[in-house]
Amino acid sequence: MTVTDHGREVLNFYAGPTALPWTVRAQISRDIVDFHGSGMGVMEISHRYVPPAAAVRPRPGARYLHLVTNNTVEGTQFRALPRVGVPLVADMSSDLMTDGFDAAGCDLAYAHAQKNIGIAGVTIVLIRKSMLGKIVARPGELPAILDYRTHVSHRSNYHTPPTFAIYVTWLMLGWIEEEMGGLAALGRVNRRKAATLYDLLDASPFYRGLAERDSRSVTNVTFALPTARLHEQFLEEAGKAGFVGLAGHRSAGGCRASLFNGVTQDMADRLTGFMAAFEQRNQTREHRDQEGSSDE
């Protein structure tokens, strides 16, 4: 491929920021106005926004597209898998086995077990046989341990497996089927848990949800409080009341309630009860403080 300057009048040799390819500049000029048909310019799109599946496109010549179906940090989730014309590889570590999903749209999916289907040490991999046939590595080029064909041919026993972690996953799968009634029933339970928190956030002038409504995760609810002082007070009082793990990811801040399979509806109800009481106490206190200031 020949790279041309497309008639640039200024030839940029700076060490950085440096020259951009003409095609990249042209794409930027289009995306400034409308990013991939989203109706928003690229500078308007929040990092908490998940594009619609129809707007996800691989770059020209891509061999596959990799995406994360649920972002635990930002609390966002794809509602459907995109159809992109190339093999789709999905990291489903935080939402596999939380609800039914369209497996037909995926060529390879993987998930670490410790969020919804067990404990750390196991990764579940779903791969189409047609994908195995497309591996083109020459003998010795790809280490056997990294070759999915190795694990398929050895029925996942190529090396000593983490037996206890697999045992726990086996128990979790049985629990999903026998106690919860299968994935469809479990999905209804999980959506109800999430709705319990989102309904409180939507009705509250005190808390602020951090994810766009159309992109909200069912398993990770992110939110913020009005001030840094209230944020710290909320986490401290929550800890004393027995609620742990509510601090947001260090890169995102705010608060986060993760509603994975092991979290019950009762736990979600108790959390929202605590949040409602915390809001009432602190709104009343703020009102008193404001009245006191006006009397001075």
More confident call, 226 vs 295:
226
Residue 208 makes CB contacts below 8 A (sequence gap 6+) with 201, 223, 224, 225, 226
What pairing do the DSSP bridges indicate for beta strands 220-224 and 208-209?
A: antiparallel
What is the average pLDDT across 170-176? 93
Which range in 5-19, 154-168, 174-188 is most confidently predicted, on average pLDDT?
A: 174-188
Distance CA 94, CA 67 (A): 13
Domain boundaries in the chain? Answer: 22-179, 183-295
Residue 46 has pLDDT above 70, yes or no: no
* pLDDT on residue 226: 95
Predicted structure pTM score: 0.81
**Residue 245 DSSP SS3:** coil
What is the average pLDDT across 219-247? 95
* pLDDT on residue 17: 62
* 116 pLDDT tier (thresholds 50, 70, 90): very high
Distance CA 36, CA 54 (A): 9
Residue 90 token pair: 């999905």
* 201 pLDDT tier (thresholds 50, 70, 90): very high
In percent, the amount of the chain with pLDDT more than 90 equals 60
Give the chain's mean pLDDT: 87
Residue 178 makes CB contacts below 8 A (sequence gap 6+) with none
Find the helix or strand (DSSP H, E) in which 71 lies.
strand 70-71
More confident call, 23 vs 223:
223
Q: Determine phi and psi for 65, rounding to 5 degrees.
A: -125, 130
For domain 22-179, the question of CATH label 3.40.640.10 is answered with yes
Residue 265 identity: Q
Question: pLDDT tens across 21-41, in order?
Answer: 777 778 888 888 887 777 777
Q: Are 207 and 224 in contact (CB under 8 A)?
A: yes
Residue 154 has pLDDT above 90, yes or no: yes
Residue 18 has pLDDT above 90, yes or no: no
Question: pLDDT tens across 262-275, in order?
Answer: 999 999 999 999 99
What is the average pLDDT across 40-55? 70
Residue 292 has pLDDT above 60, yes or no: no
Please give the class, per CATH, of domain 183-295: alpha beta
Chain centroid, CA 201 distance in Å: 19
Query: How long a stretch of residues is the chain?
Result: 296
* pLDDT on residue 52: 81
What is the average pLDDT across 154-168? 90
Helix axis angle, 183-203 to 265-295, nearest 10°: 10
* 1 pLDDT tier (thresholds 50, 70, 90): very low
Residue 11 has pLDDT above 70, yes or no: no
Q: Which of 63, 61, 58, 66 is nearest to 88 (CA)?
A: 66
